[in-house]
Structure 1
Amino acid sequence: MRAVVLSGPGPVENLVVAELPVPEPPPGWVRVKVAAFGLNRSELHTRLGLAEGVTFPRVPGIEAVGVVDSECDLPIGQRVAAMMGGMGRVFDGGYAEYTVVPREVLVPFESGLP
């Protein structure tokens, strides 16, 4: 899968698009096929080294929307929003084709948007 990877704090050149394996969710976590993600000041703070608790290399992104892509209490294909809870800081975030997040950060929703 393609993902944006931040190698370490510093200039924008530390962000690169890379090929990574599709992540496998551990128990209690869910894989999401990402459809969109937010760009916000939090990622700038992470890139500059101002965010606490970040380990590198890291896929940034503290929020994303997409569909459930692994077994959990939600049906595969359910639209979900994933946000916060360590995304993009202590575990890889939404700047990727797939992300794996703790089930408790997922919010299922319905929408007429594509």
Structure 2
Amino acid sequence: MKAVVISEAGSAQNLEYRDVPTPKVKEGWSLVKVKGFGINHSEIFTREGQSPSVVFPRILGIECVGVIEQTTDALRLPIG
């Protein structure tokens, strides 16, 4: 899958759109094919290195819209 990844703290120039392994869907989770996402202020702080608990590399874009492709709870979050 594709993702926006930052490997080390720094400017927006450090953001990289690249292939990453598709995660396995754990119990209680779903896999979403993202159609759009936003970078919020906390992620800007992360990118700048102002979040000391963050480990790099890091995939940014936690706020998103998309389509559920896999799920472990089809009643609450159906595929589609």
- SS at 1:42's partner residue? helix
Tell me the residue number matched to 2:79.
76
Contact kept in structure 2, 1:42 and 1:62, CA below 8 Å: no
Tell me the residue number matched to 1:10.
10
Look up the equivalent residue of 1:22 and give its one-letter code.
Answer: T
Q: Which runs of 5+ in 1 are unaligned?
A: 78-114
Contact kept in structure 1, 2:4 and 2:61, CA below 8 Å: no
Q: Which has the higher strand share?
A: 2
Deviations 1:9-66 (A, max 9, x none): 1222321111112221122221111111113222211100112421110101231111
Tell me the residue number matched to 1:58.
58
Number of aligned residues = 77
Contact kept in structure 2, 1:25 and 1:31, CA below 8 Å: yes
Q: Which has the larger radius of gyration?
A: 2
Tell me the residue number matched to 1:41.
41
Q: Percent identity among equivalent residues? A: 49
The structure whose RCO (Cα within 8 Å, separation 6+) is larger is: 2
How does the TM-score come out when normalised to structure 1? 0.59
Q: Which runs of 5+ in 2 are unaligned?
A: none
How does the TM-score come out when normalised to structure 2? 0.80
